[in-house]
């Protein structure tokens, strides 16, 4: 009887070890894009924290299924930091590369004064593995007097491969395209 009980315990323990293990998580970040300068304009620009729908601002990377109404949340593929602050930092650094004579930074303190402050509201930022990624956002610029001087809608899609590396790379390219759009249109404010 003791042998049967010992064998049963051994099999249960072995089953828990083999069935209970999971893949380690991978952590991703949006890459900054050191783009070519679009203008030599001088100004100071603060980038506010990006407003992202709550279902996207999670550690898990979100994908859409083929039917476009069902979402997938990957436990094994995660963002390295909050998506809203990561996008803020990446956009600030990208805009700074497109406008090298401007002072551009993520706005973190309420008392910081800039010539212009950029606000970004993301509607969609996701993708379908093996098909495409998409970024739909509104962005607007407020001057130091609190007046909105520019309001734009950004909508762009990009084809991607079937892995999460491809998806995140594509989302990074869309973020760079948004940053370039902001830089080009802001440069016209000082002409």
Residue 61: which residues within 8 A CB-CB, separation 6 or more? 28, 73, 74, 77, 78, 79, 164, 167, 168
Question: Model confidence at 23, in pLDDT bands (50, 70, 90)?
Answer: confident
Question: Model confidence at 183, in pLDDT bands (50, 70, 90)?
Answer: very high
The whole-angstrom separation of Cα 143 and Cα 123 is 24
β-pair type (44-47, 116-128): parallel
The whole-angstrom separation of Cα 164 and Cα 23 is 15
The whole-angstrom separation of Cα 176 and Cα 46 is 17
Please give the pLDDT value at position 4.
54
DSSP 3-state assignment of 127? strand
Tell me: pLDDT of 8 over 70: no
Tell me: pLDDT of 14 over 80: no
Reported as a single tens digit per residue, the pLDDT across 101-131 is: 999 999 887 778 899 999 999 999 999 999 9
For residue 51, give the DSSP letter.
Answer: B
First vs last Cα of the chain: how many Å apart? 90
Q: Which residue has the tokens 């509201």?
A: 121
């Amino acid at each position: 009887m003791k042998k049967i009980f010992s064998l049963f315990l051994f099999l249960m323990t072995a089953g828990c070890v083999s069935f209970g293990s999971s893949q380690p998580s991978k952590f991703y970040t949006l890459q900054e894009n050191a783009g070519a300068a679009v203008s030599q304009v001088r100004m100071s620009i603060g980038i506010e924290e990006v407003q992202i729908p709550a279902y996207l601002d999670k550690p898990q990377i979100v994908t859409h299924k083929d039917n476009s109404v069902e979402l997938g949340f990957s436990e094994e593929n995660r963002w390295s930091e909050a998506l809203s602050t990561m996008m803020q930092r990446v956009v600030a650094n990208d805009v700074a590369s497109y406008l090298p004579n401007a002072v551009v930074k993520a706005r973190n303190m309420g008392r910081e004064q800039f010539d212009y402050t950029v606000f970004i509201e993301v509607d969609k930022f996701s993708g379908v593995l093996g098909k495409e990624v998409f970024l739909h956002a509104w962005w607007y610029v407020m001057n130091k007097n609190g007046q909105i001087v520019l309001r734009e809608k950004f909508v762009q899609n990009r084809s991607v491969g079937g892995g999460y590396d491809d998806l995140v790379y594509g989302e990074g390219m869309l973020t760079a395209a948004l940053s370039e759009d902001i830089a080009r249109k802001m440069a016209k404010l000082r002409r």
